[in-house]
Amino acid sequence: MGTICTFGEILLRIAPEKSGEKINQTDIFRITAAGSEANVAVALSNLGKSTRCISIISNDIIGDKIMRKIRESKVDVDYIAQKSGSTGIFWNENGLSVRASDVIYDRAHSLFAETLLDKAFIEKALEGATWLHASCISPAVSKIACDNTIAIVEMAAAKGIAISTDLNFRKKLWKWTKSADEIKAVYEKIASVCTCIIGNESDYQDSFGISGEYDYIAKQIFDRFPNVKYIAASNREAFSASDVDWSGRLFTRENGIKEYLSNKYILTSICDRVGTGDSFASGIIYGLNTFEDKQKTVNFAVALSALNHTTIGDFSYFTIDDVEKTINSGGNGRILR
């Protein structure tokens, strides 16, 4: 089994350190590394997979801070390029109860947005890879980032590397083009080389213009994109920022389309929900690269991402053992001693 590569921007995440404080109310913030694809690499590495991040950040102590955060989880950081410039930022004011989380981006002029990657660099970065994960956030960031994304997925496809994407439609980010057609074309280019697509109903509407129930969506996607073998979606029934019923589903193209529904977790007292979609994606990729059993895959993904609601920050530090205990207990929280 080779390395799972991820490609995307690595950001500084700045959030009030104390739950219950607004950005304009406090001076004390927690600054960590995040970014959809780095989240996936870290989660998979902590589950024991060989992983590598492909990205570009600044070559100062701020960049070094990020490197450390990712390297500590044993992710290969040799293809996180470092250059003089600025690293993207997102501010997160964590929601609580009826108050939603608020996300503010400051990444328009980051190195990731403004640097066209060298083909040779990409080629070397993919060496030894058997899977590449690249979410559809990157193409939204800038024209250059979009070009880089398409370049890397196409090169990966050419090499026979399996590809997954997370649709992750981010309305606030799409600025270099507002044309729905142009956006759709980007999504289609990426989807056409993917083995696995992860996304929610609204993502399909916003990106491909497909709306309907999941089985309808799945059929459409499988029909349009013959390379796609798996379609996965988490299901968040949100009662408040602190209370969510959490489950997921996985469609496979076997003899016809088959749907695997996960068990459901009733999440209360949620600590930090940003990044939980990424840990769902991580669980799906983990399962597809580990288990024969697709039911096990979706159950694993849902349990992993349920756990990720209970810790601070985007990154998942959970081990296989943590996930299994949660599956076995149904998340009842009993202490084993």
Residues between 38 and 97 with contacts to its own copies, criterion CB under 8 A: 60-62, 64-65, 68-69, 71-74, 86, 91, 93, 95-97
The residue within the footprint of its own copies, chosen from 129, 274, 284, 285 (CB under 8 A), is 274
Angle between helix 294-308 and helix 276-288 axes, rounded to 10 deg: 150
Closest to its own copies by CB, 82 or 195 = 82
- Residue linked to tokens 């492909």: 54
Closest to its own copies by CB, 211 or 268 = 268
Write the secondary structure of 94-111 as one string of H (helix), E (strand) and C (coil): CCECCECCEEEEECCCCH
Is residue 296 at the binding interface for its own copies, with CB under 8 A as the rule?
Answer: no
Q: Three-state DSSP class for 269? A: coil
Determine the interface stretch with its own copies among 117-125, 191-199, 253-261, 321-329 (rule: CB under 8 A): 321-329
Closest to its own copies by CB, 192 or 310 = 310
The residue within the footprint of its own copies, chosen from 98, 213, 254, 255 (CB under 8 A), is 98
The residue within the footprint of its own copies, chosen from 83, 109, 175, 258 (CB under 8 A), is 109
Determine the interface stretch with its own copies among 2-10, 143-151, 164-172, 187-195 (rule: CB under 8 A): 164-172
Is residue 272 at the binding interface for its own copies, with CB under 8 A as the rule?
Answer: yes
End-to-end CA distance of the chain: 36
d(CA 251, CA 312): 31
Q: Nearest 5°: phi and psi at 69?
A: -60, -35
Minimal CA–CA distance to 307: which of 96, 21, 12, 43? 43
- Residue linked to tokens 């096990």: 296
Minimal CA–CA distance to 69: which of 318, 323, 316? 316
Binding to its own copies (CB under 8 A) within 297-316 occurs at 303, 306-307, 309-313
**Rounded least distance, CB 20 to its own copies, Å:** 4
Q: Are strands 162-166 and 196-198 parallel, antiparallel or unpaired?
A: parallel
Minimal CA–CA distance to 2: which of 126, 165, 119, 122? 126
**Rounded least distance, CB 99 to its own copies, Å:** 4
Is residue 27 at the binding interface for its own copies, with CB under 8 A as the rule?
Answer: yes
Closest to its own copies by CB, 12 or 153 = 12
Number of residues this chain uses to bind its own copies (CB under 8 A): 85
Pair 282, 315: CB distance under 8 Å: no
**Rounded least distance, CB 74 to its own copies, Å:** 6
CB atoms within 10 A of CB 164: 25
Is residue 143 at the binding interface for its own copies, with CB under 8 A as the rule?
Answer: no
Is residue 166 at the binding interface for its own copies, with CB under 8 A as the rule?
Answer: no
Binding to its own copies (CB under 8 A) within 218-247 occurs at 238-244
**Rounded least distance, CB 52 to its own copies, Å:** 15
DSSP state of 17: S
